């Protein structure tokens, strides 16, 4: 099984054409994200309906393309650069299992209620 726990995971916010395969996604990484896929990491893209993600990574011999399609659910997905962030390998595994790793969580003890 592919292990992403020790690599940076980069998220491209918004929608990506779900018909793109390796060459198209590498082009987006290079031209749109201004990053070098050959330096390592896992890059994640999501389709417009938020039902399918594609992940691409370079393993020093070739590209690895992983795709996951949900049935009856949608992925929590950031729509803007401000909402997107680099996530850890552990957060990526949580994301694959349905967690919304993009939403900011405020612990209850840090919530201040203003009477007004």
Give the Cα separation of 80 and 5 in Å (integer): 25
Give the Cα separation of 42 and 49 in Å (integer): 21
Q: pLDDT tens across 39-80, in order?
A: 989 999 999 999 999 999 998 999 999 999 988 888 888 888
SS (HEC) of the chain: CCCCCCCCEEECCCCCCCCCCHHHHHHHHHHHCCCCHHHCCEEEEECCCCCEEEEEEECCCCEEEEEEECCCCCCCCCCCCCCCCCECHHHHHHHHCCCCCCCCCCCHHHCCCCCC
- Dihedral pair phi/psi, residue 52, rounded to 5°: -135, 135
Average per-residue pLDDT for the chain: 83
Can you tell me the mean pLDDT for 23-47? 94
Rg (CA), the chain: 16
pTM here?
0.78
Share above pLDDT 90 across residues of the chain, in percent, rounded to a whole number: 45
Residue 78 near residue 11 (C-beta atoms within 8 A): yes
């Amino acid at each position: 099984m592919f292990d992403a726990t020790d690599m940076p995971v980069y998220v491209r916010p918004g929608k990506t054409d779900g018909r793109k395969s390796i060459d198209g996604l590498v082009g987006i990484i290079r031209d749109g994200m201004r990053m070098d896929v050959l330096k390592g990491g896992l890059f994640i893209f999501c389709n417009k309906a938020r039902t399918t993600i594609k992940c691409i990574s370079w393993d020093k011999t070739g590209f690895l393309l992983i795709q996951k399609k949900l049935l009856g659910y949608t992925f929590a997905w950031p729509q803007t650069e401000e909402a997107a962030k680099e996530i850890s390998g552990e957060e990526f595994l949580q994301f694959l299992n349905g967690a919304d790793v993009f939403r900011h969580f405020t612990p209850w003890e840090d919530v201040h209620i203003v009477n007004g």
